[in-house]
Every structure is written in structure tokens, then in C-alpha cells.
Amino acid sequence: MSRGLDLDIQRGCCFGLLGPNGAGKTTTLRMLLGQSPRTSGVLSIFGKSIDSNLREIRQRTGIVPQAD
């Protein structure tokens, strides 16, 4: 579960989410990619809402999962 998250990443930057097990890292990424529903709040990437621009956002983003 993610609560009170406000994330602003400047254009051209790469970022990572770090935290202990159960902190909501995977849930946050899944919500940003439209793979997990949210109960409140607004999600936007590139200044566009994921609700109406999900296809375009998915074409312009990527995730590299951790491999042990």
C-alpha cells in the first residue's frame, strides 16, 4: 500500500525506488503503469494522466526489475 507519495522526476532522469520489504515499491510502480488499481489520488507521467493516456505512457517508459 502506498500513502502520501509525491514524486516529481525531471525530464531525462533515471530513478530508483529503495525501501524495506513491504514498503510499497512494487505497488507504486504497478500503479504508475496501470497494472494495479488505486483507490484515490492522481497519477500522471509526462504531465499526462494515466487514466486517459496509458498506451502512450507505456510506449515511453520502462522498468528494469532487480535480479539476484
Domains in the chain: boundaries: 1-62
Q: Could you give the CA distance from residue 44 to residue 8 in angstroms, rounded to a whole number?
A: 10
Residue 7: per-residue pLDDT: 81
Q: What is the pLDDT of residues 14-48, one digit of tens each?
A: 888 888 998 888 888 888 888 888 888 888 888 88
Report residue 11's pLDDT band, with 50, 70 and 90 as the boundaries. Answer: confident
Q: Is 34 exposed, middle or buried (0-12, 13-18, 19+ CB in 10 A)?
A: middle
Q: Could you give the CA distance from residue 35 to residue 18 in angstroms, rounded to a whole number?
A: 20
Q: Could you give the CA distance from residue 35 to residue 28 in angstroms, rounded to a whole number?
A: 10
Residue 15: per-residue pLDDT: 81
Q: What is the pLDDT of residues 57-66, one digit of tens each?
A: 888 887 777 7
Residue 20: per-residue pLDDT: 92
